[in-house]
Structures are given as structure tokens and as C-alpha cells.
Structure 1
Amino acid sequence: MNTFDYNKPRPIVESLVKEINDNKEEISGMKRSIFFRDDKRKGKERQVYRIPTIYLNFRKDNGRIASDILSYENQNGELIEATAFGQEIIRQFLIKKDKEATNQLKRTIIDRGQDEPAVITCDGFLINGNRRKMALEMLSSEFPSEAKYKNLEVVILPCKKKDSGDETPPTHYEIEQIESAYQFHNQGKSEYTNFDKAISIRRKLNNGMSIEEQLSYDATFNMLTPAEKRKQINQIEQDFLKPLECIDRYLDRLGRTQMYNTIATAKGSQKGQWQAFIDYHKSIDRYIRDPKKLHKLNITKNERSTVEDIAFKLIRARKIDGVDKKSHEIMRMIPKLLNNEQSKAELFKLKEIKLKGYAETTSDVKDAEIKDLQWYNENRENIIHRVRESKNILDGVKESETPITLLKAALGKLNHENMNLKAIESENLKSTLKITESIIKKADEIKKELYGIIKKK
């Protein structure tokens, strides 16, 4: 974890400043306005330079690899980006992150060249353009005779102030602002994975940059009404930050604190876990966290930890053989299973299984994959049997539901232990009264219809 003051200027490596100054080439007539301080508002343009990629450095606080960096530093200590070793580690993370997107970027550079300049600190660390440096290095290796792939076009941020007319160097906070601006002003570049985006958003939030400020760099957000902005901010919390909190609890219970690289994030994959955590939060977690909403899951306060434990086991399993649903779809199915007492009882038998094996430890991502597979194989038959049986019970109930069973279920809900009207928030009392009146009206209609049927018979 970084402990520096985000409102102070970022430390500058003087030896690298000299390398940049000695090797930069001014591109005549080429200036650009960048997302820095009030440049965009004032229409201020800065000179663009051409610099050999070998003098430019990847930056570890890069949203695209946020999960990889956090995981690495949690296991190995601080990664020093201003070293050859640190640069190689970051390079490998970037290479592995999204190979298809990297290939697309290479094709774009071959076809159109560099569309926009990168943004670097005065000592050569890339704030915007990390993947372009990597792509250019690949192209230079593939086409060694092509000089155009050996350089990157950049705008250089201010260095140390030498006289009164000079600008001050950027603070850590301003660098975060620049990254946010380019993140939300994506123009055909590879998007961050949603998982890395979640970690990046939270990192900025923890450093004092509100969600609203992060979104403010998106012109469409600024055009929204206050109510629409609040809705979008809430959406960010529900889609990114809350699922990330669930992941933290899951990793802690496995003894893998901040080992985010052990979370499967493949898009559309049946084994993908990021989407499963999103659906876990939306379908289960948000109700567990609010005692007034437990009735929606048909559980008591004492059963909350059991439900989360079972959900985490099913997420760890990733795929349940014989159940034609992806892991995130199973999370959506759990509330339905809980709302039937028999299927709930069957699902609760998964309490017998331990989420973490006895004395289980994990050293790295490959070892974690092996441990997950071993754990699933050991518990496979039990997990499959319980989930399939619970689902079969529910499906059978659906087929056998009659007016009498439906009425009994409705009465059971009205007599549920959580039906404490005093717990209703004052702003919801009027809407609750309307629901009650609708129930009375429907009950009267059913009563009249039944009397009519009885008279005819």
C-alpha cells in the first residue's frame, strides 16, 4: 500500500529526467490539449515530442492492471517501478491482460499510426499510453527496419519549478485525475476489465477522489440532471464497489487476502467469478445487509452467514455439473430456492462442506487454481447432489402449485416472523398501506369468487 501524501508532488527521478531531455525530439507544429489542470477549459495546448520507447517507463498505478499489482504486492512486497525488474513485471501483466485487445491495438497502429499522444511525467513514466508502448515494442521486434515503431509521441508534464514562471510538477492526486479523464474518455482503446476498473475506482475513492469527480470527465455524465447523476453513481456502487466488497470477504475466508489474481474474470466464461459476485450482491448480499429486507430471501438474521457461506462455496465451485446454468445464474436462482422451505432445507445441507480445506494455504495464482480444483473434486458429488435436488424440489413445486397451496403460501408470508410493521421506514408507510389495500381488495375478490362457486355447486 502507498503511504505518501496524494496532495504533494510525485517524487521525480532526476537521472531519468536527463534521459528524457537528451532524447526527446520536438514535433514541429504539433500541439495537443490534455486533461491536466485547466488546460481543456482554457484551450491550452502543449508541445508534442517524439521519444524512443526505450526511455519510457510503464507505471504500476495503471487501472488496467490494478488487480495484478495489488495481488503481486500483497504476496511479494512493494514493486519498485523505477527498476528493470519492476518494468518487466508490469510488462508481463500488460501482455497477459488482454491479448486480443493488444493485437487490435497493433493493427490500429499499423493502419493509422498513433492517433493521439501519450502523457508522461517529466522522468518518463506513462500516465496514459502504457499499452501503446508495449504494442510499439512488439511491432519494433516484428518489423526491426521500421523506425516509426521505435518512438512514441508524448506530451510531457511539468518538472521541478526553476523560476517563477514555471509550472509546478503534478501531484499524485492530479495524476489520478489524468488517468480518470482518459479512462472515461476512451476512444477506441482497450477498455479496462470491469474487475480492474472496480479496483481502480476504489483506489481513487480511497485517495479522496469521489465517484462523481471520477465520472465528471465523461461529458455525457455532466449533461445529466442531479437525480440522474445520483442514479449513475449508485450504479457504479452496485456494479463495481459492492461486488468488490463481497470478493474481499470471500478472499479473506480463503486466506487469500487481496489475491485478486485468483478471481476468474473471463468475459462470458461459465467459470467466470466476477459476474457471479455482481449477481451475488444484487440477488442476495444487498438483502442480507438490510435486516428489513431479509423476508425477501425467506431467512432469519441467524441464517445470513449460512447463506453467504453457501453462495461462496458455489462461486468457488464455478461450475455445477448437471445444472445447466453458469455460476452467476446460480446466484440469481438462490433466492427462489430459499423461498421454498423444502428446497431451502436441501440447499442448507451444504453447511456440511467447509469453504476452505483443512490447513489449506495458497502461494500463487496457479497454486490457487489447483487448490480450487482439488476442493471441488473432494466435494463435487455432495455439491451437485444438493444443488440439483434443491432445484428439482423447486421445479416440482412449481408444477404442483394449486390455488390452495398458493393461498397457504401467501398466508404464511403474512404471518412470517419478519412481518414487523413498526420496522417500516416512515417514507415507505404510505406505499405499504397501498400494498395492504391491494391485498384486501384481492382477498375480497377471491372470497366473492369462492362464494359464487360454492352456491353453484
Structure 2
Amino acid sequence: MNKETRTQKIAEIMLRDAYGKQDILWHDRLEQMSVFEIPLEYLVYNKFNGRILSRTKTLEKQGRNVNPETKEGKFVIEELLWRSKVSKNEITKKDISIKGQLKIGIVTRDGIVIDGNRRLMLLNKLQPKYRFFKAVVLPVALEDDPIEVEKLETTYQMGEDEKQGYNPIEKYLKAKQIYNKLIAENAPENAIGQIANWMGEEKSEIQHYLDVMDVIDEYLQYLEYDGIYAMADTPNDGKEDLFLYLKKWLKTFGDGKESTKAFDGYEQLDVDDLKNICFDFVRAKIGKSYDGKSFRHIADGQRKNHFFGDAKIWKDFADTHFSIVSPAVKKINSEYPIDYNSENIEASLSNRDAKFRDEVLEGIAHNLEEHQTDLGYLRAADKPLELVTSARKAIDSIQQGHKNFSQPEVLERVEDLIQTLTGMLIKKSPEETLSLVLSLLQGIDLDSARFDEEIMLANIKNVSKAAYQMEKRIKAS
């Protein structure tokens, strides 16, 4: 049914007795408008409904025009609405099936649903039991007064009680969409003020929404998923929290002035590395792939509490991270190139990101864990007994009989550790150092150990010579 026919049919319905009355905020005045029962086939979904905005934007980015007036477009939107909250839709569908439509919708005079798209979708699924949609009819078509209609839609859909039911990204994307419309004729501050009024929020909260949206846009560009907002909207993965932390960190460290919460002398390149590393962690956050709380150790809080607060820890953490991720990204890009024309690009890119997670997760999670330990050591630098006790526990847990203990790189690390500890002991206590040397010499088992006789005799001679020289110096002092 085309627009002209819908408009005519709805106009005819409005000549009949109204079902009831409903107060509607229209042009900043509360007006009592009539409610009518409109046949379902006269109505058209709003493809930019706030619940599915990220998905319809994704389809548009692919060049796929979703026309809700066609059978195909209607089917696509119904699928998106259903999948946006399956469990909640199941409950509401059952409730409507028993009680009928309780909440009144709002439509334009040409049948575009402004408030009530989800209810309309459920009523369509319940046909032929229900054939009508109860709604107020606005005195305009959508294109007659787009800003006022947008205002009404936002007020009803994104009010404090309503937006709890929306997927995480939708409120950020909705704020950006409205801002882009208003900024053409308003100063930025005025545009933000209007959005705040429509959404029932403070202006600072709307600015926060826009800032988070900027981070999300950068994330999608980083992955070459520009405009494919479905890939930032994974409500069960906890990605939203990571975006919120990153937005805060970029404000703290990248606002043009050096923050005391970061290591001294950091540069914009370091902030860029921080951002890209965080994007990799966001990408790998699929399901319960890792505990999102550990993400905070990267850069949250005071300097002593995170990696970005110490130059040495940060450099080692970042270098290790990129050594893990860079070859994985190269492999993924080669084996799973992006198919922008995919019939289901969300599934295609989700599979691609899952491959990325599988390639890097163990490595980046271990890197995170290792540097959390380093951070703990740094914080305990003035508590030597605590650190020595922890080190002793770690050494005691080594299985010396394991075949890996004999590997050259392991023995090299052990020797390096001994030299480091010996150096610490020499500086503080020569007596204890000599006692340790004596103990080590006495502990050598010549009967069971394999050794090079020539090297051993040369070393014994050198030990004897060093001991003689030390004895002379002590007696002479």
C-alpha cells in the first residue's frame, strides 16, 4: 500500500468515533488527541527506530536500502525488532496474546509508526487474532515536520523509563543522529541542550554520549568496519564498559596537557598506542572471553594503579601486546578478508572477530596478567620482605625434575636470577655473600654431577686466587 492510499485510509478512520483519548506532548504543549483502531496493514515500521538503529545503519552502510513499505523491507525490520530483545519479546508477545494491546502507540497521518514499532511487530505475529493497532494519529506526515516528530519519538522512546530496554549502543547512536540533524541550524551547545531536554538528561550526559560515540566510530574505523554499528553493539559481551573506560582515559591523557596520572614524559604516540591496544581488547571481548575488570589495570585510576603510570611497565606491556597482535591481524586479514557485500555482514564479521579472539586471547590475557604482577611488585617496592617471600614461593613451585627445567633458556634465566640476587647481597652484606659462596661450594656433588674437568680445575684455581687476594686486603685494612 503506497503513502497516498495509507493517508486516505487513515483519514477515513479518523472520521469515525474515536476509541479513546490520550495526552500527547506536541510542540511543547500537552494536547489531548484521539485514539483510533487502525488496521495493521495500513501501518509502516519506522526503519530508524531507536531499538534497531545500529542494525539499519549497518545495512545502509552496505548500500542495502531497507524499504519498510515493501514485503522484503517489512520482513527485515520485523526480524531486527524481534532479535533486539528476544526474551523480552517472548514475554510481551504472550502478554499481548492474553490481554491485547494495552499501551497506545503514535503514528503519523501517513501511517509511519513513531512509537510502538515493537508492539506492532508482535501484533503482526499474532494475526489473525489481532488485526488492529490502537494509536494516536499526529496531524503531520513524517516529512512535514521531521524535527518535531524526532523530538516526540525521542521523548517517548528514550525517556528515563524506556531506554533501559535498549541495547547499549542505541542511545549513543540516537544522540549522534539527532545532533547531526540539529547542528545544521543550531550552535553545538544549543543542540546538546535540546537533546538533553528530549531525552530527560543533563547536558553533560548528552556530551558524554557523543564522546562515547566518537570512540565507537574510531573503533570501527580501526577495524575497517566504518559505519557497521552492529559490530560495536554486543550487549552480552560487556563491550560498552570498555568503551566507557577508554573514553575516560582518552580525555585524561589526550586532552592536550600532560596528566599526572600517567608516566612522566609520555607523548601522543603513547596515547595512540593505548587506544589501539584497548581496541584490540574490545575486539577480543566476546562472551566471557576474559574478565573485563582486569582491563582497568591498563590505565585506570592513579598512576601507581595502572600500566600507563610507569614508563618501563608500559613499554614492555605495549611491545609484548603488539608482538602478539600484529601477526594475528595480518593472518586474519589474509585468510578472512572483509566481504562488505555479505548477505549477513554481522555474522560474517562476528566470525572474523571470533577468529581474532582465538588467535590472540591467550597471549594478551597472559600479558595482562604478567604486568599486573609487575605492577604489584612496583607498589611493594618499599616492602622487601613481602617481595622476597613472594619470590621464594614462586621458586619453590618450580618442578626441577621436569624436562623443561633443563632447557638452555630456563637455565640462562636461573643464572641471571642468581647473579641479580648475589649482586643485591654483595652490596648489603659481604659476610653473608661469603657464607653463600662457601655453602654453594660445599653443596657441589662431584660424585653424581657431570662436569668438564679442565674447566672445573681452572675455576677452582680462580676461586682460590680471588679468596687469597681478598684475605690480603682484609688483613691490610
Query: TM-score by structure 2 length?
Result: 0.68
Q: Percent identity among equivalent residues?
A: 22
Which residue, 324, 330, 337 being the options, matches 2:295? Answer: 330
1:320 and 1:170 mapped to 2: Cα distance? 44
Which position in structure 2 is the counterpart of 1:448? none
Letter in 2 for 1:339: G
Cα offsets for 1:78-120 (capped at 9, x unmatched): 3223222222111111011011222333344356543342111
After TM superposition, the structure 1 = structure 2 runs for residues 217-366 of structure 1, keeping only pairs within 5 Å, are 217=198, 232-238=202-208, 240-266=209-235, 269=236, 271-282=237-248, 284-298=249-263, 299-318=266-285, 325-326=291-292, 329-331=294-296, 333-335=298-300, 336-349=306-319, 350-352=321-323, 353-354=325-326, 356-357=329-330, 358-359=333-334, 360-363=337-340, 364-366=345-347
Cα offsets for 1:269-308 (capped at 9, x unmatched): 4x331221112112x2112331214442223233121111
Query: Structure 1 pair 18/273, CA: closer, same or farther in 2 (3 Å)?
Result: same
Which residue, 151, 158, 167 being the options, matches 1:177? Answer: 151
1:121 and 1:343 mapped to 2: Cα distance? 59
Query: Structure 1 pair 320/153, CA: closer, same or farther in 2 (3 Å)?
Result: closer
Which position in structure 2 is the counterpart of 1:440? none
Does 1 or 2 have the higher relative contact order (CA < 8 Å, sep 6+)? 1
- Is 1:192 the counterpart of 2:172? The answer is no
Query: What SS class does the counterpart of residue 46 from structure 1 fall into?
Result: strand
Conserved? CA contact 1:342–1:393, under 8 Å: no
Query: What SS class does the counterpart of residue 224 from structure 2 fall into?
Result: coil
Conserved? CA contact 1:91–1:134, under 8 Å: yes
Cα offsets for 1:106-142 (capped at 9, x unmatched): 34435654334211111211001101101212233xx
Query: Structure 1 pair 322/125, CA: closer, same or farther in 2 (3 Å)?
Result: closer
Which position in structure 2 is the counterpart of 1:84? 71
Q: Aligned pairs, how many?
A: 360
Which position in structure 1 is the counterpart of 2:442? none
How far does residue 14 in structure 1 lie from its aligned partner after superposition? 1.0
Conserved? CA contact 1:272–1:318, under 8 Å: yes
Cα offsets for 1:252-280 (capped at 9, x unmatched): 121110111112422xx4x3312211121
How far does residue 26 in structure 1 lie from its aligned partner after superposition? 4.0
2:64 and 2:368 mapped to 1: Cα distance? 41
2:143 and 2:139 mapped to 1: Cα distance? 5
After TM superposition, the structure 1 = structure 2 runs for residues 378-393 of structure 1, keeping only pairs within 5 Å, are 378-393=359-374
1:188 and 1:382 mapped to 2: Cα distance? 41
Conserved? CA contact 2:297–2:372, under 8 Å: no
Query: Structure 1 pair 202/332, CA: closer, same or farther in 2 (3 Å)?
Result: farther
Cα offsets for 1:222-254 (capped at 9, x unmatched): xxxxxxx7xx2212322x221221111111121
Query: Structure 1 pair 31/242, CA: closer, same or farther in 2 (3 Å)?
Result: same
Which position in structure 2 is the counterpart of 1:432? none
Which residue, 80, 90, 94 being the options, matches 1:103? Answer: 90
Cα offsets for 1:429-454 (capped at 9, x unmatched): xxxxxxxxxxxxxxxxxxxxxxxxxx
Query: What SS class does the counterpart of residue 235 from structure 1 fall into?
Result: helix
Conserved? CA contact 1:49–1:154, under 8 Å: yes
1:273 and 1:368 mapped to 2: Cα distance? 16
How far does residue 186 in structure 1 lie from its aligned partner after superposition? 5.9
After TM superposition, the structure 1 = structure 2 runs for residues 2-13 of structure 1, keeping only pairs within 5 Å, are 13=3
Cα offsets for 1:296-324 (capped at 9, x unmatched): 2223233121111111111111169996x
1:194 and 1:385 mapped to 2: Cα distance? 29
Which position in structure 2 is the counterpart of 1:20? 10
Which one has the largest radius of gyration? Answer: 2
1:309 and 1:190 mapped to 2: Cα distance? 30
Which position in structure 2 is the counterpart of 1:203? 177
Conserved? CA contact 2:58–2:230, under 8 Å: yes
Query: What SS class does the counterpart of residue 378 from structure 2 fall into?
Result: helix
How far does residue 49 in structure 1 lie from its aligned partner after superposition? 0.8
Conserved? CA contact 2:123–2:131, under 8 Å: yes
2:255 and 2:64 mapped to 1: Cα distance? 37
Conserved? CA contact 2:108–2:114, under 8 Å: yes
Query: What SS class does the counterpart of residue 135 from structure 1 fall into?
Result: helix
How far does residue 52 in structure 1 lie from its aligned partner after superposition? 1.6
Query: What SS class does the counterpart of residue 361 from structure 1 fall into?
Result: coil
Conserved? CA contact 2:37–2:132, under 8 Å: yes
2:339 and 2:240 mapped to 1: Cα distance? 20
- Is 1:69 the counterpart of 2:56? The answer is yes
How far does residue 50 in structure 1 lie from its aligned partner after superposition? 0.3
Structure 2 gaps of 5+ residues are 184-190, 301-305, 385-477
1:38 and 1:71 mapped to 2: Cα distance? 33
The worse-fitting range, judged by mean Cα deviation, of 131-140 and 347-356 is 347-356
1:330 and 1:214 mapped to 2: Cα distance? 32
1:13 and 1:302 mapped to 2: Cα distance? 54
Which position in structure 2 is the counterpart of 1:33? 23
Query: Structure 1 pair 134/386, CA: closer, same or farther in 2 (3 Å)?
Result: same
Conserved? CA contact 1:297–1:339, under 8 Å: yes
Which position in structure 2 is the counterpart of 1:53? 40
Which position in structure 2 is the counterpart of 1:370? 351
Cα offsets for 1:23-45 (capped at 9, x unmatched): 668454612221222440xxx32
Query: What SS class does the counterpart of residue 292 from structure 1 fall into?
Result: coil
Conserved? CA contact 1:119–1:154, under 8 Å: yes
Query: Structure 1 pair 244/159, CA: closer, same or farther in 2 (3 Å)?
Result: closer
Query: What SS class does the counterpart of residue 134 from structure 2 fall into?
Result: strand
